Structure 1
Amino acid sequence: MAAAAATFAVQANAGGHGIDLEGKTVEWIIPFSETGGSAKWANFYAPLLSEALPGQPTVVVKFMPGAGSTKGANFFQEQDYADSEGTLIFGSSGSTQFPFLLGDPRVKYNYADWNVVLASGTGGVAYLPPDMAAKMDGLDASGLQGEDFIYGSQGATRLDLVPLLAWEMLGLQVEPVFGIKGRGDGRLMFERGEANIDYQTSSSFLSGVTPLVEAGTAVPMMSWGALDADGNIVRDPTFPDMPTFKEVCEATDGCETSGTQWDAWKAFFIAGFPAQKMVFLPNGASADAIATYTQAFEAVKARADFGDISSKRLGKYPQMTGAEAQGALESGTNVPQEAKDFVVGWLEERYGVTLN
């Protein structure tokens, strides 16, 4: 990966020729169902990417859900650039990164083999039915501690570990129903009354949950927050009026914002959200291909209307290319060993998940 990034820098500085995709179809693999945040993210970018790529190829989003995204990621790992010639890209999520970080035996992919061309930050929002939300006293969630909650989950080793651990730190009794194929399916469970607590990434919350809030059937509980320049958790810029998990934790008896458990939650939050979604070219991608896609995404970001349309669909988060994307990849695929050890032990004790 580092070699590919260095090669791209030389190529870009030398004014590389790039690749021409005229008359071709670019297949963008999303390892989730068509109902979640990754689908909304890819469907937002796909037509813009088509316009920006040389030759204006058709960009088709292909959904490949299964095993919490490892099915699609394992498939992509097996692909070689020479076979696709720039017509195959992959969209990962924090739910793809976490199994990799935790050593899930189902993982056959390696981020070091892939070539990042875009990294998108995002946030997340937890929400409740009105009757449950009424039991909170301002930011204090203590009134929820005696309730029984059902949550539709993709799996405890996926991005869902961030909300599951947060709710446990707040003392909530949340029983996950594992096996859904995307976060959108969790929202549908909430809408049908099959779940009474849920969270969505920002893009899905904006499009799928905001109508529920406006209809009075869902009430935001908290966001996970965002990071400031010093690495502190602050309010999410997309939801500045919404308290963060840190604020709710500080207001709730028994929840601590220091110590091993907090450090583990924060480490996985950082790995899962500031660099939550990324676009990759497969192993062996040429410097020309990396330059072509990087420049295309940079052209998309440079559109006069990009800030307006992206904030409405994705929220107000960094959209990173080049060295920034590479840095985001590194932060998203590395967590301290102490945080890994805590989460691995917690997963085994709480959910019977053994990762060895």
Structure 2
Amino acid sequence: MLKKISSLLAAGTVALTVGVEANGESHAVDMTGKTVEWTIPFSETGGSAKWANFFAPLLSEALPGEPTVVVKFMPGAGSTKGANWFQTQEDGYGTILFGTSGSTQFPYLLGDPRVRYEYRDWTPVMATGTGGVAYLNKEDGAKFDGSANALKDTRFIYGAQGATSLDLVPLLAWEMLGMNVEPVFGIKGRGDGRLMFERGEANIDYQTSSGYLGGSLDMVEAGDAVPMMSWGALDEDGNIVRDPTFPDMPTFKEVCEATDGCETSGPAWDAWKAFFVAGFPSQKIAFLPAGISQAVVDTYVAAFEAVRSRPDFAEISAKRVGKYPMFVGAGAVKAAKEATTISPDAKDFVVKWLSDAYGVELK
């Protein structure tokens, strides 16, 4: 697996070299009258859906010929169903786009037996970072004082996609805090977890920033949910700092430091931070399938660059998906490498933890 991952950057860099003809000219692809199907391997209620639905009309305007961009959903098996499907697709016309999330990256990193896809076969053209927010119902939220000390005797229920999905990050964080959180596995997207929380079937939840802004924030403003913490963001030196979208909210690191028995050093912390880095700062990535022409790649890179360069982009994106960087072209290649690379020590710790905590055997 590590050998495969190590070749991702080289393969992606080659794929994203600007395509030129012998005379040095680059040619865009005319997509007039075409329909681009952007497949998301989750349900239509989650953060990935909100991310793709935000970018789809902007991409349509920016692509030559303004093709229709339709977001489709293919949930199942913690997003591996959709990723396995995408692995088999061949498209020479630029009409197939695929969006992944940390819940697609993590099974790949861990060697999940359901994974039959290979990231190095795909071409990343755009990526964005995101954050995440954990929140409580109002009864338990009233006990939260910046630490988890008063929450350790509470039995929490959490709607989860799967232990090897992006839910790994909150589940490990809550365990490090000494909280008793029982996941109910099998939901098809984080939006379904939010619906469980809204119906009272769960009393703790987490959403990526877009899902929180688009759905959970209304519950917070109504007093039905209480924010606990964000996962944070990374500064230029790799330190965890407050999320720029939620600057008034403590990070998991701050809550851990305030909670008895929680350590921000050692194997558990190193593993949590490694998967946080792989799952959030470069979390959502748009890919073209294997065998795509360089002309199509160049067309998509130019279109996403045009989206990023819109004078109103910073304002509208902050409201819908949060204040996070957008990576295009070579930047998307680098982001994809970061999101699909993990140290052997972090992988070994999490593989053992998954086995001990949830009986998940990755063989």
Partner of 1:67: 77
Contact 2:44–2:73 (CA under 8 A) maintained in structure 1 = yes
CA RMSD of aligned residues (A): 1.1
CA positional deviation for 1:209: 0.8
SS in 1 for 2:292: coil
- 1:79 counterpart SS class: coil
Name the residue aligned to 2:150.
143
1:32 to 42, 53, 70: 42
Q: Distance in 1 between matches of 2:263 and 2:361?
A: 26
**One of 104, 109, 128 as aligned partner of 1:120:** 128
Asked if residue 264 in structure 1 is aligned to residue 274 in structure 2, the reply is no
% identical equivalent positions = 70
Residue correspondences, number: 353
The letter of the residue matching 2:220 is V
CA apart distance, 1:140: 1.5
Code of the aligned partner of 2:113: P
Where in structure 1 are there 5+ consecutive unaligned residues?
none
8 A Cα contact 2:16 2:123, kept in partner: no
CA contact (8 A) 1:4 1:287 kept: no
Is 1:11 the equivalent of 2:24? no
* Residue pairs, 1:305-324, within 5 angstroms: 305-324=312-331
Match runs of 1:194-343 below 5 Å: 194-343=201-350
- Give the alignment's TM-score, normalised by structure 1: 0.97
Aligned amino acid, residue 103 of structure 2: S
- Show CA shifts across 1:26-54 (max 9, x none): 00000000000000000000011000001
CA distance in 2, matches of 1:180, 1:213: 22
Q: CA deviation at 1:12?
A: 6.5
Report if the CA contact (8 A) 1:165-1:265 is conserved: yes
Look up the SS of the partner of 1:200 in the other structure: strand
| Partner Cα separation in structure 1 for residue 139 and residue 289 of structure 2 | 48
Closer, same or farther: CA 12–160 of 1 in aligned 2, 3 Å: farther
Partner of 1:89: 97
State the AA in 1 paired with 2:306. Answer: A
Give the secondary-structure state (helix, strand or coil) at the position aligned to 1:81: coil
Deviations 1:241-284 (A, max 9, x none): 00000000000000000000000000000000011100000001
Q: Give 1:313 shift.
A: 0.1
- Structure 2 contact 48–284 (Cα < 8 Å) conserved: yes
Q: Which amino acid letter does the alignment assign opposite residue 286 of structure 2?
A: V
Structure 2 residue aligned with 1:190:
197
User: Match for residue 30 of structure 2?
Assistant: 20
Match of 2:58 in 1: 48
Q: Give the drift of 1:7.
A: 4.9
Output the TM-score relative to the length of structure 2: 0.95
Listed as ranges, the gaps of 5+ residues in structure 2 are 1-7
In the alignment, is the contact (CA less than 8 A) between 1:152 and 1:186 conserved in 2? yes
Aligned to 1:347: 354
